[in-house]
Structure 1
Amino acid sequence: MRVERVREGMQRRGLEALLLVSPENLYYLTGLNHQGYFAFTLLVLPLEGEPLVVARAMEGATISAQIPQCRHIAFADYEDPAEVAANAVASAVRQGAKVGVEESSMCFPLNVWEPLRGRLEGLELVDGSGIVEAFRQVKSPAEIEHVRRSARASSLAIEAGLGTVAAGVSEREVAAAVYREMMLAGSEYPGFAPLIRSRDLLLQEHVTWRPRVIQPQDAVFMELSASVARYHAPLTRMAYVGEAPRGTERAADIASAGLEAVREALRPGNVNGEVYAAWQRVIDSGLGHSNYRRHHCGYAIGIGFPPSWVGGASVAGLRAGGTTEIREGMVFHVLSWILDQEPADYVISDTMLVTANGGEILTTTRRDPIVVPS
């Protein structure tokens, strides 16, 4: 069914084939779930006929077991994958055909793409990015169930981390507790490592644990997601050791009100820019000024492979001025963060499912300030 829908989208664009390289799109269309995506892997999806998967020869057993509906076009490690890929594409389409290429993916290295493009001069190559993602945005009931299970595992994992935070404990010990609970709760390896760091690195948004020992009056930030059937459900919390800084309760009220504003605005028919504006109005009112701006207050999530849980190189955010329509069945990681502002820093985020009545929060960890004994 998924392949049929994508082929209908291809046909509307006049494409006779689509060349896909991102793990998320390959998984969505074929079910190929492994860690071999670090090597060049290409799905050639013709408008008719069997899909072709160009991948290392050593992945043959995995491909034949997981996706027997696809033909494996293998290349040995001493062969040029661009040449093998060019021959595969030429076997699937006629000369002069219009072929879409997933140009936006980080998985199309230049040392493959440049020679491949040169060998396909007889074809009309156009950017086919976003065709599959458009179908991935709205989740089926089965996909939503995977996200729900992931949200449960994420919540249990972050609660295990919060319960481990204490003066004298290292960030590494917190990470170990998170991973243990995440796996026992049913998660696979996540697409992105849990982000666990003390307050001195709070503003460095994509760094994670060190061997550093947590101190009295410290705070520990945690942002993480489990992965169930490759579907993610992130959330963010922070634990304060001994006591929270002055103003934290007020900052928590503002951030929580912002999260609620997004939950209310995530209704079918709204656009992502309207959702961001609803969040921004609450934050402006709470802070008493309009100088605080973030690049977004959330982003679409679902299938993810390393190095990301957002599902590819681009981020489909809830951002100012956005015109993407919100539809029932979309899933977002909603962030209501107040950083480097008075009255205090505060971070909360949760996974939300778009329903007919607004956002349903799937992650369940408490959202008030979390203070642990020093």
Structure 2
Amino acid sequence: MPGNVFPRSEYERRVERTRARLEARDLDALVVSDPANMNYLTGYDGWSFYVHQAVVLTREHDEPVWVGRDMDANGARATTWLAEPNVRAYSDDHVHSPHDRHPMDVLATVLADLDVETGRVGVEMDAAYFTARAYERLRSRLPEATLVDADLLVNWLRIEKSDREIAYMEEAARISEDAMMAGIDAIEPGVPEYEAAAAIYDRLIRGTDEYGGDYPAIVPLMPAGDHTGTPHLTWSDREFASGDPVLIELSGCRHRYHAPLARTAFVGDPPAAVEETAEIVVEGMEAALDAAEPGVTCEAVETAWRETIARYGVEKADRIGYSMGLGYPPDWGEHTASLRPGDETVLEEGMTFHVIPGLWEDAFGVELSETFRVTKTGAETLAEFPRRLFTV
């Protein structure tokens, strides 16, 4: 039982809040496929999301039920707070089966055992690991059930963090600081990009003197040279050269909670255009952070950024941030609130966001990001790291 991560009472509170949402949506059950949502409700933590697994929550049963591969059942026993009858496994011949077996066959049996085989069953239609085949198989095995799109139902509950969740994100921020410094220190002419990536990974896993780090939901992103106009590239065998801008985006991770951080470095003396762009990004970031407080909308935070950079004739069409925290690959975002025009989500105390108002031009890019929590008085960034362009 994962009592060293969260007390049972916190999981029970999460389950009750989710169950209230089921009642409001007139759902008899919810099938949770997103590994972050599975962790949120049960504590389950394993690299097993590459095969089908789920957590089932009904309105009538006290505990959720974990359903997964037989070899992962002991992992569920080790990491969840669930009683033994609520750990249900399927045999290995359901994995990539040539015999017309599928994990959804077993999941359908579990739903029948929970007396919801004729009810309204919510499924996470846009979850990364809930495939089209899984949906079709589950529907064929539950012909009298009504499968309802309940995507993001749990995600919206995750948007407000408890004190302990915030504490883990603060620990992740300490790891992010160390990893960012290690990456910047490793960059110099003639050094292959993978060496900087290795230095970052070393700190992400070694953590601090007090605690270690988990694997992050996203690998370190590190476009350099001519590729900094594209934010989501990683590293290569290429060697850093004088005149290279380098973007670094990474996150420390503690008990699956993240605190992303991004900075830009320049190899040698940066040209005036890069320095000026960095100054604009910093000023815009600070305007957005100053605007973030309880009661304002996500849209208003983005407006503060947009109006600031507009004074310099700069425009940016993309969102500048999103809610985040608990996560598994492929990303740490919660897929709910975004700092963008038209998002009228109202900021509340306990929400956490990754604000990343980078500017990516054809010739070069400048990236800067912070993770912040919404407090009673405004935005509080979790990392303490200089907010500037670095030269190496």
TM over 0.5: yes
| 1:288 paired residue number | 313
Taking a change above 3 Å as real, the CA distance of residues 68 and 337 of structure 1, as seen in their structure-2 partners, is: closer
SS of residue in 2 equivalent to 1:2: helix
| Matches of 1:68 and 1:365, distance apart in 2 | 37
Pairing partner for 2:42 from 6, 17, 30: 30
Pairing partner for 2:326 from 289, 303, 307: 303
Pairing partner for 1:322 from 340, 343, 347: 343
Pairing partner for 1:228 from 254, 261, 273: 254
Moved more, 9-18 or 160-169: 9-18
1:1-374 to 2 correspondences below 5 Å? 1-49=13-61, 50-70=63-83, 71-79=86-94, 80-185=102-207, 186-285=212-311, 287-288=312-313, 292-311=315-334, 314=335, 316-340=337-361, 345-372=365-392
SS of residue in 2 equivalent to 1:232: strand
Q: Percent identity?
A: 36
SS of residue in 2 equivalent to 1:106: coil
SS of residue in 2 equivalent to 1:303: strand
| Matches of 2:300 and 2:271, distance apart in 1 | 33
User: Is this contact kept in 2: 1:268–1:326, CA < 8 A?
Assistant: yes
Tell me by how many angstroms 1:269 deviates: 1.1
User: Is this contact kept in 2: 1:31–1:67, CA < 8 A?
Assistant: yes
TM-score by length of 2: 0.90
Tell me by how many angstroms 1:160 deviates: 0.6
TM-score by length of 1: 0.94
Tell me by how many angstroms 1:64 deviates: 1.6
- Equivalenced residues, count: 366
User: Is this contact kept in 2: 1:17–1:93, CA < 8 A?
Assistant: no
Moved more, 161-170 or 7-16: 7-16
> Deviation string for 1:267-322 (max 9, x for gaps)?
1111111111111001111x225xx22320111110110111214xx363211111
User: Is this contact kept in 1: 2:29–2:116, CA < 8 A?
Assistant: no
> Deviation string for 1:79-118 (max 9, x for gaps)?
3212111111111134532221111211111222101112
Tell me by how many angstroms 1:364 deviates: 1.8
* Aligned residue type for 2:219: A
Unaligned runs of 5+ in 2: 1-12, 95-101
| Matches of 1:39 and 1:150, distance apart in 2 | 28
| Matches of 2:370 and 2:225, distance apart in 1 | 20
Tell me by how many angstroms 1:323 deviates: 1.3
SS of residue in 1 equivalent to 2:174: helix
* Aligned residue type for 1:337: G
Moved more, 239-248 or 160-169: 239-248
SS of residue in 2 equivalent to 1:336: coil
> Deviation string for 1:144-180 (max 9, x for gaps)?
0011111111011011100111001110000111111
Taking a change above 3 Å as real, the CA distance of residues 9 and 315 of structure 1, as seen in their structure-2 partners, is: closer
Taking a change above 3 Å as real, the CA distance of residues 207 and 213 of structure 1, as seen in their structure-2 partners, is: same
Taking a change above 3 Å as real, the CA distance of residues 262 and 118 of structure 1, as seen in their structure-2 partners, is: same
Taking a change above 3 Å as real, the CA distance of residues 92 and 29 of structure 1, as seen in their structure-2 partners, is: same
User: Is this contact kept in 1: 2:42–2:81, CA < 8 A?
Assistant: no
Moved more, 68-77 or 3-12: 68-77
* Aligned residue type for 1:72: V
* Aligned residue type for 2:283: A
Moved more, 186-195 or 60-69: 60-69
Moved more, 213-222 or 139-148: 213-222
* Aligned residue type for 1:178: I
User: Is this contact kept in 2: 1:171–1:211, CA < 8 A?
Assistant: yes
Tell me by how many angstroms 1:247 deviates: 2.8
Tell me by how many angstroms 1:339 deviates: 2.2
Moved more, 248-257 or 349-358: 248-257
Tell me by how many angstroms 1:345 deviates: 4.1
* Aligned residue type for 2:17: R
Taking a change above 3 Å as real, the CA distance of residues 345 and 60 of structure 1, as seen in their structure-2 partners, is: closer
Tell me by how many angstroms 1:371 deviates: 0.9
Taking a change above 3 Å as real, the CA distance of residues 151 and 68 of structure 1, as seen in their structure-2 partners, is: closer
| Matches of 1:182 and 1:112, distance apart in 2 | 34
Unaligned runs of 5+ in 1: none
User: Is this contact kept in 2: 1:199–1:221, CA < 8 A?
Assistant: no
